[in-house]
């Protein structure tokens, strides 16, 4: 029942918000750190190892994906037509690839979750546009987050923007509440109808992480049980931030160093 679901959405206390801010910062630091390593010739397994060592050895934190429901690695790496949950391995990046790196860090019991697209060498104009529109779609959702906004407003804003640019939105995966749990209530769909769904309140923390396909929206899971790909093999792009609903707007907890101090004005 809807009311029961809504009642499970936690409101973070001031102290919990500070811990979410800390986890979000560490998550952004990992992405800032790994960016320069994302180059033609490196394997996704090497990117995983570098992130793992940074999180465990340098941050004294925990990579949440490792052993999460049996996931074997510390980050997700999703190349080209891989939509999400790609497993790092022996595959080498090559010029022209687009790759999503998804990082989730646990520090002092709280999670931060963020992902970015990286362009490997010179990529096609089409691939670059897909990554840009996916980024802008995420921000279309983030920019309207404030008390009183409804989840359907967020989904609609994201869907309208992506579809308005000729792309499709994946339906099978969504954003999520986050805190002591990796995936908490509510589910944050990246499509929907304005004026529907749960009403946001100050102190809620959740992710917004639209997956945008260049072709049709349909996806399938590979036999490894994790890797999600587009059925039509069209390329897919995703960006993710963890956000906090504040008294009068939104605080993005996973901004990278280049964007910090600039949350309200971010694109």
Question: Judged by CB under 6 A, does residue 85 bind ligand MF3?
Answer: yes
211-213 and 236-238 strand pairing: antiparallel
Nearer to ligand MF3, 129 or 183 (CB): 183
The span from the CA of 108 to the CA of 47, in Å, is 24
Q: Residue 255 binds which entry of ligand MF3, Co ion, none, with Cβ cut-offs from 5 to 8 Å by kind?
A: none
Q: Residue 65 binds which entry of ligand MF3, Co ion, none, with Cβ cut-offs from 5 to 8 Å by kind?
A: ligand MF3
Nearer to ligand MF3, 139 or 226 (CB): 226
Nearest by Cα to 10 from 186, 228, 131: 186
The span from the CA of 238 to the CA of 212, in Å, is 6
Site for ligand MF3 in 224-243 (CB under 6 A): 226, 240
Minimum CB–partner distance for residue 87 and ligand MF3 (Å)? 8
Question: Judged by CB under 6 A, does residue 65 bind ligand MF3?
Answer: yes
Question: Judged by CB under 6 A, does residue 113 bind ligand MF3?
Answer: yes
Nearer to Co ion, 52 or 248 (CB): 52
Among 104, 213, 230, 242, binds ligand MF3 (CB under 6 A): 104
Among 31, 76, 162, 253, binds ligand MF3 (CB under 6 A): 76
Minimum CB–partner distance for residue 67 and ligand MF3 (Å)? 9
Minimum CB–partner distance for residue 104 and Co ion (Å)? 5
Question: Judged by CB under 6 A, does residue 67 bind ligand MF3?
Answer: no
The span from the CA of 84 to the CA of 244, in Å, is 23
Q: Residue 140 binds which entry of Co ion, ligand MF3, none, with Cβ cut-offs from 5 to 8 Å by kind?
A: none
Give residues in contact with ligand MF3 (CB under 6 A).
65, 68-69, 71, 76, 85, 102, 104, 113, 207, 209, 226, 240
């Amino acid at each position: 029942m809807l009311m029961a679901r809504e009642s499970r959405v936690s409101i973070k206390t001031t102290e919990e918000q500070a811990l979410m801010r800390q986890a979000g910062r560490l998550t952004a630091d990992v992405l800032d750190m790994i960016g320069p390593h994302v180059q033609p010739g490196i394997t996704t397994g090497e990117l995983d190892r570098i992130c793992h060592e940074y999180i465990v050895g340098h941050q004294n934190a925990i990579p949440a994906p490792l052993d999460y429901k049996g996931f074997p690695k510390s980050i997700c790496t999703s190349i080209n037509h891989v939509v999400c949950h790609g497993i790092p391995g022996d595959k080498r990046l090559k010029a022209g690839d687009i790759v999503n790196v998804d990082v989730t860090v646990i520090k002092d019991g709280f999670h931060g979750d963020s992902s970015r697209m990286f362009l490997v060498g010179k990529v096609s104009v089409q691939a670059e546009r897909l990554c840009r529109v996916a980024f802008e779609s995420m921000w279309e959702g983030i920019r309207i987050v404030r008390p009183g906004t409804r989840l359907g407003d967020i989904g609609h804003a994201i869907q309208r923007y992506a579809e308005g640019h000729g792309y499709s939105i994946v339906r099978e995966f969504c954003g999520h509440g986050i805190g002591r749990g990796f995936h908490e209530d509510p589910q944050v769909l990246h499509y929907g109808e304005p004026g529907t769904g749960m009403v946001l309140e100050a102190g809620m923390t959740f992710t917004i992480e639209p997956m945008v396909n260049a072709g049709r929206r349909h996806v399938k899971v590979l036999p490894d049980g994790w890797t999600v790909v587009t059925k039509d093999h069209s390329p897919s792009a995703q960006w993710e931030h963890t956000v906090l609903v504040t008294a009068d707007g939104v605080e993005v907890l996973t901004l990278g160093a280049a964007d910090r101090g600039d949350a309200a004005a971010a694109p």
